[in-house]
Structure formats: structure tokens, C-alpha cells
Structure 1
């Protein structure tokens, strides 16, 4: 131990605690914003909170440079500081997130080069997994007909505005409980109980009460979405209990929750009981801890890679003009590398592409844009790369790769959930699946637009189909705020020369969009076009887009339900 390394470790820990305190303060305002129906403030708070880690990282990095009198660039000091930091956080309630903050400072100082366990917390602590705690759980033993239990659960939400009609909502809930849940439980031999997390999950325009029903060895997860009526009261919108429905609530295509969790790992442990198929990093992401989620994902990916001998290959589907995409056949994620030169007619810069991906990270994805993790200097085993993939990397992105023996380093890469490209899905689907997926495709475009996002390139290949049949957008190089677009009708030609012209005879500005041309996205698939025209032909009308722009300018924030509208109590 030296004075320099001790100060380095202390400064990083102080920086983390300052980050987490401010993070918590932003989060604590979620309920007030929900009760006031201040949706614009909710969106601003979400973006502010996402920027907080980077802001604190920069402040701490500058501070430790001063504190250590420039000794910060000596990696031997980091090896000692890591050991001292480990001692400082030995009993810290959020030690694992503090480790990620330490890593972030190290990577910032050394520009993501030579990130090793020797100097940072690259590997997971041996045997560590998030642990639950009884203190964050409310327990409700079933009694009577169950109505009092549900009433107590709702009252424990502690809203500062009244329920619109609590007894009505209790009736809706009990109808589902008696019809769908209780018949699945062995209530004759065991006494059932409900368990809920003490803090609500806030996102978009809803609050979610998350819990489970336990009876002996049986457990059924549930989520109660709660909506603001817009008239100073709240109501329960539905009761979700199907594992797939709950998984969609916590989907990778949805924005992060705001949850008053002093120790996020305790919540992650409980959520993992409800959704054991979800990885720990997915739950940290959903909880609003994407930076630590990135650490957990890296560890997960390393373990997964070591347990497999499958090669890395070019991802199935039409090759992108901007991104080179590869994966492993047995891996649920794809790697996306920005090409050095874009295939014509793409004329944007690499910085523009990065800015688009950054925008998606900050925006409310509304269940229609896949989350990404961004890595610099990510190392792979060169021997695992197929010859075709290596040839493609050398041809399309030579500046992004660096080889050293068996190591292949990608200098910049995005990692994203693997989905079935929509154009490939359409080749195999039956008529019912076609109808459903084309409805989903249209809804995805409309929901992105209502959230002030214009996808730009709406070709079928730029959308993916999830295992739940949802359509999600994943190609971001042309996205922009909807309000930046100028939606126009195609001018009528005034003479034969204009009518026969192969190029537009009228002036077209960069921001101009002609919705009538969207029909071209279905070139070669008339079967899909026919269904889409039946369901979503309004998207060809410039007035539809212009009207939506007017609504957004006037403060409109969409309802983005992570469940089907037919599941809502009021729709029944």
C-alpha cells in the first residue's frame, strides 16, 4: 500500500457513492412524476439518469489524475489500488456495482486498452451471485376470499393520489385469481401467500407492482400494471401471470425501469426467481443499471464462449451496407462492427452511426428497439473465426481489427440480441403468422413514430422477430427524431418528360420523406404487401405522419403497453 494508491482507491469509491446517491435521487422522483402525470419530466429524468455514470466517470477520472500527481498512468499503481479497493468495499452493500465503476475509471484512463484482471475487476468474484433479502418483500398470507389481501397489497403502494375505483379493480383481480391462478395451486395441502417487492417499478406512463403467489413448492409470478387516469387518480390496468407476458414487460427492447432499490442485487435476486430464464445482466439492465449490466454481460459471454466450440460466422440474412454482423450459431447475440467504407448509396459518417446508436440508448425504446452494449478493444480467439468471416472483416473493416498471435481484437463493436430477420421469417411463415407479423411490423413503425422516432430505412431486413413473435427494429444508422422530418406527397408530373424521368424532377431536401414510396419496402414480397396494405395503409398517407407530428409538438406522449390491449381490464 502507498499513499498514492490509497488515495486512488478512496477517490474512486467516493465517486461511486456520489454517483449512486444522485442516481437514487433521480429515481426517487419517479413516483411524484407518475402521480402528476408529468410524462415529459419522466422522459427527461430517464435521459439524465443514463448520462449520470459518464458524467461522474469523467469527474472522478480528472480528480484522481490530480490526486495522484500524474501517477495514474502507472499500471502497477492500479494493481495495488485494486487490492485496496477490494478491502474498502468488502462490506459495501453494492460492492459489485462499485467494482464496475472502478473498471469504468480504469478503462477511461487507459482508453480500454489492456483491461486485465490484474488491474481491474474483469472476472466475477468466485461463487458470487445476487442474494435476496426478506426486508424488501411484503408477505400476504391468503385469508378469506382473498379480497382483503389484494386490498392490502394495493394500499401498500402508498400513492399520494386516490384510487379511481379500488373495489372495482379488486373485483377484476379476484376474477383472474379465482379463474386462472388458484386452480393451479395445491391449496388443499398448503396455505398460499402472495409476495411483492416493496418498491414499484416505474416506466413510461405506468407503475408496476411485481410479485408472486407461493403455495408449497409452487410459485406463480405476477405483475400488476397501474395506470394514471389523467384525472388525479390511479387504477389497475390488468393482471399479468403468464411467464411470457412477464418476460415481455422486462424485455431487452424496453426502456429501463426506475425502482427505489438501495441494493439493486436484492431485487435482481427476487426477479431471477420469477424469471429464471433471464440472465442476471438482463435484470440489472431492466433495473436501470446498464453499466453494471455490461460487466455482467461480458462475464456471461466469456463463460458461454469457453463452454462452446462453435465458430464465429457471418450472421444469416442480407449483408448490411453500414454494419458487418457476425455471431455464433449457438449464441443468442450478434456482434456489429461499423464498416470502414459504406456500400453506396449510404453516405453517412461513422460518427453519425455512433450518434444514432447513442440516441437509441437514451430514448424510450417502447418495446420496439433492441438494446445494445458497446465495447472497445474486445478480444476474441482468432482460431474460432471462419475463413469467410475473417475475409469479410479484412475487406470491410480493416481499421477495426488488430491481430496478435491467436488473439483478434475488435477496436469497436456493438452487441445486440439475436432475432430472426423479418425478411427471412416471411419466407417460412404460414398465413396466420404472416397476418400477425405484418400487423406487428406496422405497429412497430407506428409506435416508434408516436415516440418521436423515424426509423429511416424501413426495409424488412432491418426488423427482427423475437421468440414471442414481436417485431423489433435493430438497424439504427438512419434514425432521427420524427419532428426533424418533412413528410410530403409526391408531386404530380406536369408533362410526359417528368413522368418518364428516372430521377426525381422535383427538389428533394435531406429531411424530405415521401410515405407513398414506403410500398417499395415490399419489393419481391407481394404476399406480405397485400396483408400490410389491408392493416396499415394509413402509413402511406403523409397526413397521418403530419398529424402525429402536430400531436407530439403539443406534448403528446404515447401509451406504450408491454401487453396486448385485449388483456386490459377496461377492454373486457
Structure 2
């Protein structure tokens, strides 16, 4: 069939999909625009509800548009040649669209849903973008406001805070300005060369909202060099908004935009512009990560897939089984030259696991819609992911054929994995401990305990706390990545092990007391350190309270009462003092202070 001139039917399908994309984007933006009011009202429950609703929006719109596509033609929409024409028509329609790349991802989603992720080929969908990004530096554009240091830093900082108007007052603006000025003068401008042009601060005009915080995101430039400047703002729910700290190191900025955190709500009418600005602050971050961080995770998947294809062209190493203890539920493999792991659900789970594949999938969906609190890795889910067979080690191929044959299609050239998850590669905590110094062990076990506590504050009980289920990032943070046994804290029953009533009970080799499915006995957590007394000692010096059922019960009671804890994507020691501040209404600071 000649597809050089799309048929009227193909053009109608293309217009329907583009109209659907524009409707999706408008709804996405409207949900996002409500973030300011939710922050000002300190309506934290609504914040989490909006986060979940916005994630669900994409799938809802795709399903609606698929039905509309079937309704705009009497022809067979499963005709693959028709879609080659529709793709051409769509490329013409979005050629001048400001968000063409995300619009193309939306087209891909419609195609994949109709064809159940089959026929993935450039002929039918946008495996590659229809045009390359121009890569030119951002010109002065309305996504950010530029401030020049003409007089003094104090006046400049005060002007910046004034320009971001909120409907509630500042708790103590003078104090906050002084704190910010001190950081800028001592850490950002201290070694500045006076022969360079004047200092310029560019602040994105859209505020980044996430959980209980708002962030002003920008950069400080002098000459050709620049550093990030991020101002986290909190609402004390009593006397106003305050600046909690200043983040100015690229690594610290990267943690704020981490793959372990929920997506931001930020008014980004042209997301690609924001991605380019943020990448100028953190050049090591992939575009896919930044798209994810601002809520366009479906396009983040597209960018990641393209990045994998590009990496494969410029590498020759083979996929291998990931280092560490093999999982009972997942088979995990990686490419040594690429910092990602690929996870496949096994066809049969090793004992004593009793969960089902559907439960595992539901747990991953739960994580994607939860507040990950900086302690759970974001994952992307793919169907029919295509690899070249010659890039798989023989050991890995044999392993996958043994544990997950139903997930594979293999021919002479390709390995197609019907369902998998991708996730950032980290060093498994149990492997990290083998070569760690005593100081590193002490620090990482503090991180391990904090990870468990912060997830608890986000209403996530990790279930299996074995060290192998946690990873250590390049920043030294401990992150949980095994989700098959997670459960809401509010659905757990935390108990103390009853005292034995007689010698027979004391000597019994199994519990003599009744244990319900949701019963948790924190005293048993000591078992997770068997064989590593150094790690256990470091953990107990800092987090012995995790062995006490009453600690967990207090967290559960607070969550049931509707309290939402604070999670900070920066070190608590960097927070500014607020000696003159009124006590926060929430009352959660003491309870969730970890």
C-alpha cells in the first residue's frame, strides 16, 4: 500500500489522537495548577490524592482515545498498513506542535494498546522522534526570571521572594533572606573572580510542588560557569511559609530530582524547555529521568528506550545476571556498561514465597502511585521489550529460559521479553557491607534504619527487610527495591511476642501462639542481621527502636489519624534554625523526626 499520501481515514485517526493528546495535556496542566492552592491550604491529603489521580489520568485518556479511534471509521483499525499512514499524517500534524515529542509518545501509547504491544517498528510508530532536538542553548524565555546582582545580595534575594507571591504570609521573611544571603556569600560567591561579568540568578518562574514542600529552582551564573540554587519552602500550617535551606551543590540538587521520589507538580507548558534547563544544572542526569521527575513518566519511558537503543549501538558487552543473591520472585539482569537493571517476574516462585504474579504486579503499581519518600526506586514497566540475542550471555539466556520461559520469545536474532521492569542499578546492601570500612558500615546502617522509618512514615511496611533487598546509591543513600511483600502500615498488626507460660512453650520449635496473616513481630527483625555482627551492632546503636512494637504502633496511630510526615530530600543538618518560629500545627515533627 502506498503510504506517501495518507488516506482520509488515516488523517481522521491522526486528528482524533492529537485531539486526545491535547485534551490529556490540558487536564494534566489543570491538575498541576491546583498544587499552589493545596500547598497554601496545607491540604496534604489532597496533595497525595492529586498525585495519584494525575498518574491515573494518562491511562484513562489512552483508553478513551482508543474508543474514539474505533468510532471515527468503519474500517478495520487493526489494519497495520492503515497505521503506517496514520503515523505519517500525525507527524505532519505535530510538525509545528510545541510538545511534539510528548504528543508522539501519546500516539505510541494508542498504537501499543490497540496492537497489544506488537508490531513495534519505526514504520508504524515513533520509535525515533520525528525530528531531532535543536540542542541550542536556551535563549531568554519566559520559563525563567533573570536577576542581576547590581547592588547587594540581600536586596536581590528579597526581590526574588517577593516575586513568588503566595496567598499566605512569610513566617519571617527577614530571617529567611539573611539565611539565604549567608549561604550565597559563603559558599557560592566566596571564590568568585571579580574580573568576570556580574552575577546573574535565573529562577524558573514555575514553582515545583511535591508532598509538603514547594521548591524555587534556578541557577547562579557568572561568565560561562553556573551552579544550582534551589530554595525549599515549607508551610508550617500556623504562621506562614518559610525557606528551609539552600541547595547549591549539583549532587545535592540531583537528590532532589532523584528517581526515588514522587513526581513534581510544576506548571510546564513546554516540558522540553524545563528539561533542558534542569539538565543544565545536573548534566549527568538523563533526559528520561528529568521527564519522569516532572510527571511525564510515559515520555520518560520513551526517552529511556531510545537511550538503550543508542547505548547498544556504541557498546559491545553482553547482558549478564545481576550481581548479588538471586531473588525468589524476580530474575534480574544488567548490562555492565549501563547503570540499569532489568527485572522479570519468574513463572514459579521459590519457596517459601506464596504471592502470585498478579500480586507482584499490583505491588509495583502501588509503589508507582505512592509517596516513595526518597527510599523506593522508581520503575518503568515494558511489554515486548526487544533485545538482540547476540548481546545476551549464554548463562543469562539459560537462566531466563529456565525460570521465565513464558515471558520469552527467542529467534536467531532477537530476544523479546513480554513483560519486564527497569530500575536504576545500585549496589546491593549486603555486597556493599563486605568491603565497607567500619565508618562506612556505621553510616550505611544509619541509612538503612532511616529508610525503613521514612517508608513507614509514608505508610509503607517493607515486609522483607533482608539486606539484599536494599541498594546503596552513588550518593550513599539506602533505597528499597524489592516490593513483593510491601503492605500499608495501617493494615499491619504490630505485636509483642507473648511470654511463654511454661517450659514446653519456651522450648517449642515453632510459635505456640496464634499468628494472623497481618501480624508483625518487630522483635524478630534482629534475624535480618544473622552472620553480620558488625552491621547489627551499628544498626542497634542507632535504630534499636525498630525492634519495639510500640514504635510501629505510634506510627500507625498517627497515619490513621490522618497525619502525614515530612520527608526531606536534603540532609537535616543543612536546615536553617527557626528559633523564633511558632510550633507547627501538624504536630508530626517529633513523631516523624528521622
How would you bin the TM-score normalised by the shorter chain? over 0.9
* 2:426 is the counterpart of 1:407: no
* 2:529 is the counterpart of 1:522: yes
Report what 2:369 is aligned to.
362
Aligned counterpart for 2:96 among listed residues 91, 100, 106: 91
TM-score (norm 2): 0.95
* 2:44 is the counterpart of 1:39: yes
Q: Deviations over 1:110-163 (max 9, x none)?
A: 010111110000113443257645221101010222111111111111111111
What secondary structure does 1:570 align onto?
coil
1:312–1:328 Cα contact (<8 Å) kept? yes
| More off after superposition, 120-129 vs 529-538 | 120-129
Report what 1:49 is aligned to.
54
1:24–1:260 Cα contact (<8 Å) kept? yes
1:201-240 mapped onto 2 (5 Å cutoff): 201-240=208-247
CA distance in 2, matches of 1:337, 1:108: 21
Report what 1:170 is aligned to.
177
Q: CA deviation at 1:571?
A: 6.9
1:187–1:215 Cα contact (<8 Å) kept? no
* 2:523 is the counterpart of 1:531: no
Report what 2:78 is aligned to.
73
* 2:509 is the counterpart of 1:502: yes
The RMSD of aligned alpha carbons is 1.2
CA distance in 2, matches of 1:488, 1:70: 62
Report what 2:323 is aligned to.
316
Q: CA deviation at 1:69?
A: 2.2
List alignment gaps of at least 5 residues for structure 2.
1-5, 580-594
CA distance in 2, matches of 1:571, 1:100: 46
* 2:346 is the counterpart of 1:339: yes
What secondary structure does 2:417 align onto?
strand
Report what 1:24 is aligned to.
29
1:176–1:239 Cα contact (<8 Å) kept? yes
What secondary structure does 1:202 align onto?
strand
Q: Deviations over 1:284-311 (max 9, x none)?
A: 0111100000000000011112211111
CA distance in 2, matches of 1:56, 1:130: 31
* 2:520 is the counterpart of 1:513: yes
1:130–1:265 Cα contact (<8 Å) kept? no
What secondary structure does 1:245 align onto?
helix
Q: Deviations over 1:529-556 (max 9, x none)?
A: 0111110010011111111111001111
What secondary structure does 2:142 align onto?
helix
Count of matched residue pairs: 572
* 2:106 is the counterpart of 1:108: no
CA distance in 2, matches of 1:517, 1:481: 19
CA distance in 2, matches of 1:531, 1:129: 52
1:124–1:299 Cα contact (<8 Å) kept? no
* 2:281 is the counterpart of 1:278: no
TM-score (norm 1): 0.98
Report what 1:143 is aligned to.
150
CA distance in 1, matches of 2:498, 2:436: 37
What secondary structure does 2:439 align onto?
helix
CA distance in 1, matches of 2:106, 2:149: 43
Q: Deviations over 1:325-370 (max 9, x none)?
A: 0001111000000000000000110000000000000001110000
Report what 1:485 is aligned to.
492
CA distance in 1, matches of 2:578, 2:481: 31
Report what 1:435 is aligned to.
442
Q: CA deviation at 1:233?
A: 1.1
2:104–2:129 Cα contact (<8 Å) kept? no
